[in-house]
Amino acid sequence: MYFHVQEFINEIAADEPDPAAANALQEGLGGQFGEMRTMMQYLFQSINFRGPDGKPYKDLIQGIGTEEISHVELIGTTIARLLDGSPRYQGKPADPVDKPGSGGAVPLNIALSEGNIHHYLVGAQGALPVDAVGNPWMGSYVYNSGNLVLDLLYNLMLESTGRLQKCRLYEMTDNKTARSTISYLIVRDQAHENAYAKALETLGVNWRTSLPIPKTNAESFPEVKRLLEMGLQSKIYSFDLTGQSQAGKIVQGMSPSGDGTHLDASEQTPAGAPMTIAPERPEEFSPGADADLRALIEATAAMEMADIDATFGRMK
């Protein structure tokens, strides 16, 4: 079973809205090699895992799959932030919907010029489980043959392709909100690439000079370089509340990427970053509360919580 921590896995930098960047990032969320696919692929491989002797491999896949849930949350929130407010709309949140901001702009007018009409109509200024051209995410993307070596090979291919696409995404936009998340995912893709490569090494594979895939100059991206200097490409988190993960039996020794670092599975989770709730958007009728509904919402929000003991918490 899963717990939730009300933090983002990494900080999302502040910048102007950028609907075109949001559109591109949809590929990284709901595309064939996006975060929804990594999340579902590893969770299904973990659910269907066979062979009690292989527990360290199951624990590795399960821990990475759990991190991928947070990647879905991170990139989805990033897309929503990039869409939240047209760059040319100067209205105040309290303005009536039919009285848009200065300059005669209409609030969602950006939808007509950015090729995102369907997205704005269906999902408004939020993320959708679709790729960059609007194809819905599909369960048939998930690869789970049940053969351990095959599944690990495919996972390595998936992380490598994800990293390739994120490096391309980085070069499409200089928006700070987009780049903060893209850079984090580039580095974590490499960490997962390293982990699956190491798991395959324990099963007899010798990578020699193949890794990392792709051979990129991602370390020349300043945001990526900062995360590499923190060693995030070589850490695997257990996301295990009860201390039973054996993934550390696999994730140790020199990194298969040949960067001279040691793989490290000693941490339960990353530090996390504060989580906030998006503002109301009257122009998209979200959350769509009139005075009566608002009074009821505020009454609920003002209610006293019954005393609840915090039974579970993060292990420190």
The H or E element containing residue 300 is: helix 291-302
Instruction: Tell me the DSSP string of 188-204.
Output: HHHHHHHHHHHHHHTTT
- Distance of closest approach, residue 12 Cβ to Mn ion, in angstroms: 15
End-to-end CA distance of the chain: 20
Give the residue carrying structure tokens 């390595």.
156
Query: Token pair 């850079």 is at which residue?
Result: 183
Residue 27 annotated as binding site: no
Q: Is 159 annotated as a binding residue?
A: yes
Q: Is 192 annotated as a binding residue?
A: yes
Tokens of 102: 């200065």
Non-local (6+) Cβ contacts of 195 within 8 A are: 60, 64, 236, 247, 250, 251, 263
Segment 220-259, which members bind Mn ion (CB under 5 A)?
Answer: none
Read out DSSP for 142-189? ----S-HHHHHHHHHHHHHHHHHHHHHHHTT---HHHHHHHHHHHHHH
Stretch of residues binding Mn ion (CB under 5 A), selected from 6-14, 129-137, 175-183, 187-195: 187-195
Report in angstroms how near the CB of residue 191 gets to Mn ion at its nearest.
Answer: 8
Residues of span 19-58 touching Mn ion by CB under 5 A: 35, 38
Q: Is 119 marked as a binding-site residue?
A: no
Hey, what amino acid is at 227?
L
Taking the complex as a whole, how short is the minimal distance between the CB of residue 169 and Mn ion, in angstroms?
13
- Judged by beta carbon, residue 80 or residue 182, the one nearer Mn ion is 182
Shortest Å, Cβ 38 to Mn ion = 5
Residue closer to Mn ion by CB (options 38, 45) is 38
Q: By CB under 5 A, what part of segment 87-146 binds Mn ion?
A: none
Contact 108, 284 (CB under 8 A): yes
Out of 58, 166, 192, 198, the residue judged to bind Mn ion by CB under 5 A: 192
Which of 40, 82 has the CB closer to Mn ion?
A: 40
Separation in Å, CA 185 to CA 29, 81, 150, 252: 11, 17, 24, 21
Rank residues 68 and 151 by Cβ distance to Mn ion and give the closer one. Answer: 68
Ligand-binding annotation for 18, yes or no, is no
Q: How far is the CB of 72 from Mn ion (least distance, A)?
A: 8
Using CB under 5 A, count the residues that bind Mn ion: 5
Instruction: Report the nearest approach of Mn ion to the CB of residue 75 (Å).
Output: 8
Q: Is 166 in the site for Mn ion (CB under 5 A)?
A: no
Close Cβ partners of 191 (under 8 Å, ≥ 6 residues apart): 232, 233, 234, 235, 236
Among 37, 58, 71, 81, binds Mn ion (CB under 5 A): 71
- Which of 107/256 has CB closer to Mn ion? 256
Please state, in angstroms and as integers, the Cα–Cα distance from residue 28 to each residue in 68, 279, 287, following that order.
12, 24, 27
Do the annotations mark residue 118 as ligand-binding? no
Please report, as ranges, the residues that interact with Mn ion according to CB under 5 A.
Answer: 35, 38, 68, 71, 192
* Binding residue positions for Mn(2+): 35, 68, 71, 159, 192
| Residues contributing to the annotated binding site for Ca(2+) | 59
Residues at the binding site are 35, 59, 68, 71, 159, 192
